[in-house]
Amino acid sequence: MPLNMFKDKDGMPRIILTDPNGSSVEVLLYGAQVVSWKNQKKEELLFMSSKGNRKGGNKAKRGGISVWFPRFGDVSSVEEDGLGRKRLWSLDRDPSPLPLSDNHSSVDLILKSSGVYLKTPHLSFEFRLRICVSGGKLIMIPRVRNTDNKAFSFTFVMTNYLSVSDISEVRIEGLETLDYFDNLINRSRFTEQADAITFDAEMDRVYLHSPNKIAIIDHEKKRTFVLHKNAMPDAVVWNPWDRKAKAIGADLGVGDYKVMICVSSATIETPIVLKPCEEWKGYQELSTVSSSYCSGQLDPTRVLYSTLHSPC
Ligand SMILES: O=P(O)(O)OC[C@H]1O[C@@H](O)[C@H](O)[C@@H](O)[C@@H]1O
């Protein structure tokens, strides 16, 4: 299936995957960041910042999908915090044993600790990421292997910046009644009381033990994103709203917060622990359905708890 690899104007290797129905995904090898996901009609489904690159040695723009590994938001270890997004990945020439099926386009990437420069070199891992577009769905399968002779623990987040028409018209279903840490109130723990999550101010929450399907409903666009995940029990919901967007400044446009929502697959509360040679495998699938699937018509048992049929 078509895979087009080229260098962009900054000399950065990029890959474009196109599936038979015309959907496409674009990936930067720097940080293994997905910077575009387009449907058959060539509409962009991911948000990318209208401003320049991030600060602090990260050569990528804010937006798309990127992975936080081996630490998420860990101020005690700036070097390890989001390490995977600050390095150049390689094509994985030996991606077995994941099976492949027809009608998809995929790429396998790898980041090895042996190729990663650290001031405090004590990590030993192989991080593989399969990115696949199939029937318009964007599937990402991360795998982390401990290549050390002692146990290794890590937290993991797959940050999904979704493009929405107007954040005030967005509703998230699947997180109601869950406990969450509120990052805006010193990570205090609360229980969600609302029927669904809606937005009228900054939000930065880690929902715990979330179901494996979450619906992000864009009323104005009459489109619902379905986030389907496995082995990542938490979900981060983030929108900076106007004040934080201004404070972020350099890599986020002032009005960008209105047309984006971050809903991320995560494992934060309980870090993953791998014994020597053990491997962890996650799964994330993003798809869209039309508004017939929107609020009030969501069948929670069918939608939120249905099983996965991965083509990748
Ligand atoms: O830095 P990313 O991956 O774009 O994540 C989006 C945001 O997610 C939030 O949860 C964090 O508190 C922010 O600091 C972060 O910027």
Instruction: Return the domain boundaries, the chain.
Output: 3-304
The pLDDT value given to residue 260: 98
Cβ-based neighbours of 125, under 8 Å, separated by 6 or more: 70, 112, 113, 144, 145, 146, 147, 148, 152
Query: Is there an atom of ligand 1 within 6 Å of 26 CB?
Result: no
CA of 181 to the centre of ligand 1 (A): 14
| Ligand 1 atom closest to 66 (CA) | 3
CA of 155 to the centre of ligand 1 (A): 14
Cα dist. 71→85, 100, 155, 243, 268 in Å?
A: 11, 30, 5, 26, 9
CA of 238 to the centre of ligand 1 (A): 7
Instruction: State which of 204, 260, 269 you would mutate to test the pocket of ligand 1, scoring each by most atoms of that ligand within 8 A of its C-beta.
Output: 204
pLDDT in tens, 97-142: 667 666 789 999 999 988 777 666 678 999 999 999 999 999 999 9
Query: Is there an atom of ligand 1 within 6 Å of 238 CB?
Result: yes
Helix/strand/coil for 200: coil
The pLDDT value given to residue 133: 95
ipTM confidence:
0.93
Residue nearest to atom 12 of ligand 1 (CA): 204
Query: Is there an atom of ligand 1 within 6 Å of 183 CB?
Result: yes
Query: Is there an atom of ligand 1 within 6 Å of 62 CB?
Result: yes
Query: Is there an atom of ligand 1 within 6 Å of 280 CB?
Result: no
Residue nearest to atom 4 of ligand 1 (CA): 62
The pLDDT value given to residue 58: 61
Which CATH number among 3.40.50.300, 3.40.1310.30, 1.10.20.60, 2.70.98.10 corresponds to the domain 3-304? 2.70.98.10
Report, as ranges of residue numbers, the positions in the chain whose pLDDT lies below 50. Answer: 294-297, 299-301, 305
Confidence (pTM)? 0.92
CA of 13 to the centre of ligand 1 (A): 25
| Ligand 1 atom closest to 159 (CA) | 3
- Quote the Cα angle for 127-129-132, to 5°: 175
CA of 161 to the centre of ligand 1 (A): 10
The pLDDT value given to residue 101: 66
The pLDDT value given to residue 308: 59
Instruction: State which of 66, 75, 156, 159 you would mutate to test the pocket of ligand 1, scoring each by most atoms of that ligand within 8 A of its C-beta.
Output: 159
User: Residues 84-115, buried b or exposed e (16+ Cβ, 10 A)?
Assistant: bbbbebeebeebeeeeeeeebbbbbbbbbbee
Cα dist. 96→89, 92, 108, 129, 130 in Å?
A: 18, 9, 10, 12, 11
The pLDDT value given to residue 75: 66
